Structure 1
Amino acid sequence: MKFISWNIDSLNAALTADSARAILSRDVLNTIIKCNPEIIALQETKLPNNGPTKKHLGILGDMFPDYEIAWNSSVEPARKGYAGTMFLHKKDLKPSVSFPVIGAPSTMDAEGRIITLEFDHFYLTQVYTPNAGDDLNRLEDRQIWDIKYADYLVNLDKEKYVIATGDFNVAHKEIDLAHPNNNRRSAGFTDEERQGFANPLEKGFIDTFRYVHGDATGMYTWWAQRAKTSKINNSGWRIDYWLVSDRIADKVIKSEMIDSGPRQDHTPILLEINL
């Protein structure tokens, strides 16, 4: 089976806007379509609290005629049009869909950050992990989130094996970003966040990219938009992941990035696994 995950940074813009960036986003969506994955996971959809509009659904139906859609949007008391996740899965798949609440602090559980698909023999879950903030003002809440989320994965893993993906908003190791020494206390590379990401890895999960590629360097999933030359110079971070239960590690065939061309920000990531 082939799965693709992507932080799209506004599905509305990708579907309806005419800006240069929106056009690049649609190019990436078309690249994903050509890969013909069974399931697509999207993060940071930024849709209204009641989900995609009729216009969105019409465009999605035209672009992805063979897929069913499930979404989780940010709702009050969280900010509107914030965060959010979506799955598109082939119509012949018939998963049960859930929108877990993990007991996270503040408004995190209301921000549409997790969707889980349950199949006969496995779970596929996606996450958009909260950012610690430029001033690390949300770091303490983020640490609690990381603990709660790891516990959630472990509990799923007790029932059947788990595939977890998404934007985890952290570079785990020094080799996962271009300039570790300059980012020791930057959001996404604090010791606290790195340990938070290590929690599920210490409890029965593997980072499939590292499983396949070892200690390969210079391979990233995100390049800052604020720095116009970040992607040209490959000053990136690897903050998007496919994790799987360690007992199915040998079923992983591919775990890699998909080329998003000149578009900065996130690039899609692919997992091919023999299920």
Structure 2
Amino acid sequence: MPKARHTRRGGMRLVSWNVNGLRAAIRKGIDGWIETIGADVLMLQETRVLEEQLPKDWSWPQGHAVHLHPAEKKGYSGVATLSTLEQDVLPGFAWGEDATDIEGRVLVTRHGELVCVNTYLPNGGGGPERQAYKERWMDAWRAWLAPWVEADHPVVVVGDLNIAHTEDDIWNPKGNAKTSGFLPQERAWFTKLLGDGWVDSFRHVKGEGEKIYSWWSNRGNARADDKGWRIDYLLCNPAAAKRIVAVDIIRQAGLEVSDHAPCILDLSD
């Protein structure tokens, strides 16, 4: 369990965390970590829950506005955004194959001038058909994001994007070259996404070469040996990038609560 509040280094803190099932995360002590991390806007992915399925003796953190966007399929996918700031929900992502986002993958919220796009990008590990769907989804989502990158107010796209961009973002690049999440076409797509103007806040602060991961397989000793992938991001448009102060990935929280670690972005006021 966390013992001390995680030091804030900017005026506003955004956090992205794939919780691998919110009900399980509650049992594993996510409440303590939420308090420790102290996010102004906390964006969760893979919540896999409806409001009525949450434990009756549990409640959302006090003082937070909460919006859930679950998948239609029970126990699957879903995102949620919690905030201590004012929070309005904006129209979400729709595309040709899914006009209502039935898998619960994108939730857009506005907090004053800040817009947050909470995203859980599909996983392509289910076979060729699912990989093809993932890539079509990626292209549609990238096109949908395009107007946001040019906004004169801060926009941050956060979440589990299920892609490790470079060899610095994965512990065994050669061994995973044919694995969904590190395929050449996925990495090339991510390069194009950044070319659109989005800034990877982690690399903006840390630079190239540093290997810090945000997800670890539950197989073998991957977690204990820190054999992971960085597939969780906080991407900033230029207006938000000017305000980046600090980033962090809290591995211990991932080890205790989920297979992903929470990723932190501190912005100046």
- Distance in 1 between the 2:81 and 2:56 partners? 13
Deviation at residue 235 of structure 1 after TM alignment: 0.7
**Are the aligned partners of 1:72 and 1:85 in contact in 2 as well (CA < 8 Å)?**
yes
1:38-71 deviation line (CA, Å, top 9, x unaligned): 1111100001xxx31175476133xx11111101
**Are the aligned partners of 2:246 and 2:265 in contact in 1 as well (CA < 8 Å)?**
yes
Q: Which amino acid aligns with 1:83?
A: S
1:128 aligns with 2:123: no
Deviation at residue 150 of structure 1 after TM alignment: 1.4
Between the two structures, name the one with larger relative contact order (CA 8 Å, sep ≥ 6). Answer: 2
Q: Secondary structure at the match of 2:34?
A: helix
**How do residues 1-275 of structure 1 correspond to structure 2 at under 5 angstroms?**
1-15=12-26, 22-23=27-28, 26=29, 28-47=30-49, 51-53=50-52, 55-56=54-55, 59-61=58-60, 64-75=61-72, 79-90=73-84, 93-98=85-90, 100-103=92-95, 105=97, 109-159=101-151, 160-227=153-220, 229-260=221-252, 262-263=255-256, 265-275=259-269
**CA 1:83–1:182 in 2, change beyond 3 Å: closer, same or farther?**
same
- Distance in 2 between the 1:71 and 1:114 partners? 10
Q: Secondary structure at the match of 2:59?
A: helix
Q: Which amino acid aligns with 1:180?
A: P
Q: Which amino acid aligns with 1:32?
A: I
> TM-score if structure 2 supplies the norm length?
0.87
Question: For this pair of structures, how many residues does the alignment match?
Answer: 255
Deviation at residue 123 of structure 1 after TM alignment: 1.0
- Distance in 2 between the 1:115 and 1:57 partners? 25
Q: Secondary structure at the match of 1:126?
A: strand
Deviation at residue 80 of structure 1 after TM alignment: 2.3
1:102-148 deviation line (CA, Å, top 9, x unaligned): 30536992111011112342311110000012434312111111111
**Are the aligned partners of 2:120 and 2:160 in contact in 1 as well (CA < 8 Å)?**
yes
**CA 1:213–1:57 in 2, change beyond 3 Å: closer, same or farther?**
farther
Q: Which amino acid aligns with 1:141?
A: Y
Gaps (5+ residues) in structure 1? 16-21
Identity fraction in percent: 27
- Distance in 2 between the 1:54 and 1:187 partners? 31
> TM-score if structure 1 supplies the norm length?
0.85
**Are the aligned partners of 1:106 and 1:141 in contact in 2 as well (CA < 8 Å)?**
no
Aligned to 1:18: none
**CA 1:99–1:13 in 2, change beyond 3 Å: closer, same or farther?**
farther
Going by fraction, where is helix more abundant, 1 or 2?
A: 1
Q: Which amino acid aligns with 1:40?
A: L
- Distance in 2 between the 1:55 and 1:80 partners? 13
